[in-house]
Amino acid sequence: MEVTTQQTAAPSSLPTPPPDKLLDGEPAIAELNKIDSDIDIDFQSDLLHTPVSGPTQGGLSRLPVNGEAQRGGTGNGDVILGPKEEGRGEGGKEVEMKGVGSRRPSVEDFDLMTTLGTGTFARVWLVRPSGSPPTENAPLFALKQLKKVDIIRLKQCEHVRNERSILEVCRPHPFITHYICSWQDRNSLYLLLEYSPGGEIFGYLRRARRFDFRTTQFYAAEIAMILVFLHNHGIVYRDLKPENILLDARGHVKLVDFGFAKVVGDRETYTLCGTPEYLSPEVIQSKGHGKAVDWWALGVLIYEMSCGFPPFYDNSPFAIYEKIVAGRISFPSILPEETKDIVRKLCTKDLSARLGNMCGGGHQVMAHPFFRGVHWQELENQVHPGPIVPNLRHPGDTKYFDQYDPPSTSARDEYTDEMFEKHDASFRDF
């Protein structure tokens, strides 16, 4: 169980057993973190974008699985089949897959097992490579399917393109869902992503109603690290909320849904997007916004995790916005002072006074007393499991995901030939 190699024993102040012990008892979890070389796939990343016609000889193709998934791998025993050496450089473990060969994957290469989530124009499936034995240790992925017709109807082409390129940039980050590859067919775009079996923090939060200080601090810390990373890359995320934060098998966060993320550099951007309760005043008032909106949203998130409800809420969205613009926050008396303080400082309307947007950037956020005691390096290395460790019965256990109705088709969903002619060029480089 190599997953545990980077772990050190827990501090002695708390009777936490050594993590390897923990994982010994949980073979399934360990298995999940370790996509084993001899079971699994590897599509060839550089070939993914160069469709090759012709028979595949029923052979095996390869697909790099980045980050967390291969963390536990030792790298030995990898056999790379076919003309695949060149230009990989991913250093990832590989997972092999029958019948795919040297071409882009298609949706037929996967068994769509169940729906993990739905959005306005996307549906996320839990998938396993088709033909792989339906055993408990089959490699699992999340496949995000985006309907071209809806993307066009909602004028979201730009956002969809951003999503893919940004996910590519974010590959190395442990707390961001790993992007594996993408492709399209006539009607849909597909993003193959790492599967985070813990489900949304949202579910845990609503069931727990509130998180205690330590739990809130843990998630806020991991999110702060993500934001620092994204902002260093000039990326603004723009849709922070518990619904978009998933847990991996060890309870660390995985940020998903980069549909609104955008490379802004140091410029401002103007498209209103996000989630009503989490919008910042400058977004609501169309003043142009930048990376500072993520720090505002972190303040809202910390408040919501601590209290169970967001600082600005009302029955109608417009009334929510009025409250956000007015900027008054009331705190339940039980909140620790550090929590109140960081929320106040993050949810500051004045951009020259918003924590995270000032001189020192995100590091000033990390230095706030709210994060006192956080060992950032250990956190980044995921030395300890998170405060909530999903209790999975097997790797494909989807009990932490909501149940969704199967997709329905209606006339409105049809991506007509006419639309294809007119719009498909905008998906050309996807």
Partner 1 sequence: MSLPEAYLDEINALNREILKSKPTDVLQFCANFFNRRLEAQRVEFLLSVSNNSGFSSSNTFGAMPSSSAYVGGESLFPGSGANLGGPPPSGGRESPFSGTITEEDEDVGQSPTTPSFRPAALGGPSLSNPNLAAPPPPSPGQLLFSPRGRFTFGNDQPPHSGPSHLSPSIHLSPNSASPDFPSNYNMSRRTSVSAESLVPSSSNEEWNPPVYPKTSEQLNRLKTAVSGNFLFMHLDDDQSGQVLSALMEKPIPRKGTRVITQGDVGDFFYVVEKGSFDVYVNSAGSMLPGLDGMGKKVNSIDPGGSFGELALMYNAPRAATIISTTSHNILWALDRVTFRRILMENTFKRRRMYEAFLEEVSILSSLVPYERAKIADALEPFTFHPGDVIIQQGDPGDNFYIIESGEAEVVKHGINEPIKRLTKGDYFGELALLNDAPRAASVRAVTRVKLATLGKDGFQRLLGPVAEIMRRNDPRLAEGVDPLSNVGSPGPSGGFDGGKDVVEEAAGRGRAVEV
Residues 211-240 that bind partner 1 (CB under 8 A): 211-218, 239
Cβ atoms of residues 116 and 142 within 8 Å: yes
268 binds partner 1 (CB under 8 A): yes
How far is it, in rounded angstroms, from Cα 230 to Cα 253? 15
Task: Flag whether 144 is marked binding.
Answer: yes
**Residue (188 or 306) nearer to partner 1, CB:** 306
392 binds partner 1 (CB under 8 A): yes
Quote the distance between the C-alpha of residue 76 and its chain's center.
29
Cβ atoms of residues 242 and 222 within 8 Å: no
Alpha carbon of 317 to those of 270, 281, 314, 322, 427: distances in Å?
20, 13, 7, 9, 33
Element at 426 (helix H, strand E): none
How far is it, in rounded angstroms, from Cα 246 to Cα 403? 16
405 binds partner 1 (CB under 8 A): yes
Cβ atoms of residues 11 and 82 within 8 Å: no
Q: In whole angstroms, how close is the CB of 108 to partner 1 at the nearest point?
A: 24
**Residue (353 or 367) nearer to partner 1, CB:** 353
190 binds partner 1 (CB under 8 A): no
239 as an active site residue: the answer is: yes
Q: Could you say which of 71, 88, 210, 423 contacts partner 1 (CB under 8 A)? A: 210
159 binds partner 1 (CB under 8 A): yes
**Residue (66 or 165) nearer to partner 1, CB:** 165
34 binds partner 1 (CB under 8 A): no
413 binds partner 1 (CB under 8 A): no
Cβ atoms of residues 363 and 228 within 8 Å: yes
Give the total of residues touching partner 1 (CB under 8 A).
Answer: 116
Residues 55-94 that bind partner 1 (CB under 8 A): none
**Residue (56 or 118) nearer to partner 1, CB:** 118
How far is it, in rounded angstroms, from Cα 258 to Cα 167? 7
Assigned token pair, 219:
């998630």
Sign of CA dihedral 261, 241, 330, 220: negative
263 binds partner 1 (CB under 8 A): no
Residues 98-127 that bind partner 1 (CB under 8 A): 119-120
Q: In whole angstroms, how close is the CB of 96 to partner 1 at the nearest point?
A: 23
Concatenate the DSSP letters of all residues of 277-343 into one string: GG--HHHHTTS-B-THHHHHHHHHHHHHHHHSS-SS--SSHHHHHHHHHHT-----TTS-HHHHHHH
Q: Could you say which of 146, 343, 357, 370 contacts partner 1 (CB under 8 A)? A: 357
How far is it, in rounded angstroms, from Cα 299 to Cα 112? 37
52 binds partner 1 (CB under 8 A): no
Active-site residue, selected from the candidate residues 239, 248, 257, 294? 239
10 binds partner 1 (CB under 8 A): yes
Assigned token pair, 106:
């298609």
**Residue (106 or 120) nearer to partner 1, CB:** 120
Q: In whole angstroms, how close is the CB of 317 to partner 1 at the nearest point?
A: 6
197 binds partner 1 (CB under 8 A): no
**Residue (102 or 156) nearer to partner 1, CB:** 156
Q: In whole angstroms, how close is the CB of 358 to partner 1 at the nearest point?
A: 5
Q: Could you say which of 332, 363, 381, 413 contacts partner 1 (CB under 8 A)? A: 332
Q: Taking contact as CB under 8 A, which single stretch among the options 36-44, 86-94, 293-301, 381-389 is the one that binds partner 1? A: 381-389
Alpha carbon of 268 to those of 104, 174, 283, 287: distances in Å?
36, 28, 11, 9
Buried-state track 144-164, b at ≥16 Cβ within 10 A, e below 16: bbbbbbbbbeeebeebbbbbb
Provide the annotated active-site residues: 239
Q: Which residue ranges make up the annotated binding site for ATP?
A: 144
